[in-house]
Structure 1
Amino acid sequence: MLSRISRARALLLCALPVLALIAAAAFAPLPYTIALPGSTADVLGVDKGRQVITVTGAPVRKTTGQLRMTTIVATAPGADIDLGDVARAWFRSDQAVLPHDSVYPAGKPDREIEKRNLGQMRMSQESAVAAALGHLGKRDGDIRVTLHLADIGGPSAGLLFSLGIVDKLVGDGEGGDLTGGKVVAGTGTITPDGTVGAVGGVALKTQAAARDGATVFLVPKAECDDALATRPAGMRLIPVTTLKDAVASLKALGDGGRVPSC
């Protein structure tokens, strides 16, 4: 009997440091960030009392429907993410676990990160204007396009900005409303020549779009699999690689034509 008690006590003493390590690991900060569906904004509408897209020097059409750019929101750079947070997020479809450095560059202060994101947004807007005017065969010098969207950074609204400009401007062979009165959402970077690039976070952005009433989502083609993995019920996913693709698909959708799907 004494032997059994001694053995049990010895096992308990050995187990205590292990349990302590497990408990410490459970509450120790980990190098991850938790991302969730963020806000969306209609680029055809008004943001903080100002039109998102303002055009001077060319006639514009009255638009219906919405073109909603989408975002994700991540935990703050200095937030302590522990094992419990990661475990909970891992098994939820409305959250994603991302390496901290993939969202916030290592060693960069919050102010510098914000400045970088706003710089990316400005470059994205310039590229969006160039792509839209190029698509319509219009010259930048004759038309002035101003874009305004407060409190949002990064380059991922480029495609939606371009579509909004195309939708508002009256161009040769470009008559009609791109949305057909629908709530259309999407994401994707844009280059001045109209090439659409991947952005990340698509699975969360489709959920944000569905929450805000969208039934159609434009997806950079390379991210179709991610979008399909958690596609909201009733959401139509349309793959795009260029601005021309996106415009053609939206027109076909409105005309009852053939539209590609993820």
Structure 2
Amino acid sequence: MLVTALLLGVLVLLPVPYAISSPGPTRDVLGTHDDTPLIQIEGAETFDSTGELRLTTVSGTGGPGFPSSAVGVIQGWLSRWAVVQPVELLYPPDRTQDEIDESNTAEMVSSQENAAVAALTELGYEVPATLVVAGAVEGTDAEGKVEEADVIVALDGVAVPNYQGLIAQLDEVEPGETVTLTVRRHGQAVDVPIVTGKKADGRAQIGVFIDPSFDMPVDVTIDIDDIGGPSAGTMFALGIIDKLTPEDEANGQDIAGTGTIDVTGEVGPIGGIRQKLAGATRDGATWFLAPAANCDEVVGHVPDGLRVVRIETLHDAREAITAIGAGTAEDLPTCR
């Protein structure tokens, strides 16, 4: 009997080939972590807030160096908020933990820069950028025409001072039209005719990878080193806006959310939305900002006491937290 019990105990603790995703910790981007403000701003006046804006995370096991146990898998199957999947669906067998950590860190750094640019642009700041070509998208007309290290300076003869300007000009172009991209190459201006392609959303694209270098008018530092990935971008951007405006947007409310952000302020989908909803409720949030592209995963999975607002842009999110703080949020869009 004792031997059987010992064997069962060993089997229960043995690693199993499953990955478990569960609600992770949340962080108030307007608060501090280890006595250090998560968001620090220099070069502009900042203002205090009485509310909380929580980024949300997912905790997981099953990756390299962090195996799941049989007990954990059983608990995951029994939990409403955990997801159990074959490990290879989340963690490719040829990737090490160091490689995963490095990728997550790079995505977090990029999301912080995007958040700062989007937030400052939303507030009316000019954020000049040097648009350096990092390569061309395979199969597009730009392939073989642009070169790495080219600097984009104009489109159809109109100067492009920043990334948002380039996107705005392309929005006026129909896919399939030919545009003239002027680049600075080895100190000389070169005109490059490019037949535009079509993005998934129907807009025109030039098929060029761009590595922008931004000239930030305000110095924004985000100090958080224990969370990776790009999904906190929208909440970082809202935190920057809240700190730089005299209005107390959240006004005592506990608002959580998630979503990637690009420099144009577009909010993108993320993974683990159901776990993030649960983590937000656990930590006291009563409102949650969810990317519109995640709405199909939200419906039917909202914890009691939590109200979800659907957002597509940073401007949507800013208006939402202002309405929530003002007590006028009844008509905000939700996931249906």
Residue pairs, 1:56-67, within 5 angstroms: 56-67=42-53
2: CA distance between counterparts of 1:27 and 1:126? 42
SS at match of 2:100: helix
Give 1:12's aligned residue: none
SS at match of 2:81: coil
Tell me whether 1:100 sits opposite 2:82 in the alignment: no
Whichever residue aligns with residue 267 of structure 2, its letter is: V
Give 1:261's aligned residue: 334
The farther-off stretch of 158-167 and 50-59 is 50-59
SS at match of 2:280: helix
Equivalent of 2:270, from 170, 195, 199?
199
Whichever residue aligns with residue 221 of structure 1, its letter is: A
Query: 1:230, CA displacement in angstroms?
Result: 2.4
Give 1:115's aligned residue: 102
Give 1:162's aligned residue: 237
1: CA distance between counterparts of 2:39 and 2:72? 39
Give 1:250's aligned residue: 321
Instruction: Give CA deviations for 1:66-120 in whole Å, capped at 9, x if unaligned.
Output: 0010101101414555777555523421211234244323311111111111111
Superposition RMSD in Å: 2.3
Q: Provide the aligned length of Structure 1 versus Structure 2.
A: 234
1: CA distance between counterparts of 2:13 and 2:50? 51
SS at match of 1:229: coil
Q: Structure 1 residues 119, 101: closer, same or farther in 2, change over 3 A?
A: farther
Structure 1 runs (4+) deviating above 6 angstroms are 26-29
Give 1:22's aligned residue: none
Conserved 8 A contact 1:44-1:52: yes
Conserved 8 A contact 2:115-2:236: yes
2: CA distance between counterparts of 1:145 and 1:84? 43
Whichever residue aligns with residue 229 of structure 2, its letter is: G
Conserved 8 A contact 1:216-1:237: yes
Give 1:125's aligned residue: 112
Instruction: Give CA deviations for 1:123-177 in whole Å, capped at 9, x if unaligned.
Output: 010100011011111134321111111211111100000000011113xxxx522
Q: Unmatched 5+ residue regions in structure 2?
A: 1-11, 128-215
Give 1:5's aligned residue: none
Query: 1:193, CA displacement in angstroms?
Result: 0.4
Equivalent of 1:148, from 217, 223, 238?
223
Tell me whether 1:188 sits opposite 2:248 in the alignment: no
Query: 1:65, CA displacement in angstroms?
Result: 1.0
Query: 1:32, CA displacement in angstroms?
Result: 2.8
Query: 1:28, CA displacement in angstroms?
Result: 9.2
Tell me whether 1:40 sits opposite 2:18 in the alignment: no
Whichever residue aligns with residue 81 of structure 2, its letter is: D
Conserved 8 A contact 1:249-1:260: no
Report the TM-score, using the length of structure 1 for normalisation: 0.82
Instruction: Determine which structure has the larger strand proportion and give its number.
Output: 2
1: CA distance between counterparts of 2:68 and 2:99? 22
Conserved 8 A contact 1:185-1:217: yes
Conserved 8 A contact 2:47-2:244: yes
Equivalent of 2:124, from 122, 128, 137?
137
Equivalent of 1:225, from 280, 296, 315?
296
Q: Structure 1 residues 110, 176: closer, same or farther in 2, change over 3 A?
A: same
Q: Structure 1 residues 83, 215: closer, same or farther in 2, change over 3 A?
A: same
Equivalent of 1:212, from 277, 283, 301?
283
Query: 1:29, CA displacement in angstroms?
Result: 6.6
The farther-off stretch of 208-217 and 29-38 is 29-38
Q: Structure 1 residues 28, 38: closer, same or farther in 2, change over 3 A?
A: closer
Conserved 8 A contact 1:93-1:230: no
2: CA distance between counterparts of 1:36 and 1:206? 11
Whichever residue aligns with residue 306 of structure 2, its letter is: M
Whichever residue aligns with residue 238 of structure 2, its letter is: L
Report the TM-score, using the length of structure 2 for normalisation: 0.64
Query: 1:224, CA displacement in angstroms?
Result: 2.0
Equivalent of 1:49, from 12, 35, 39?
35
Percent identity between the aligned chains?
A: 41
Conserved 8 A contact 1:60-1:168: yes
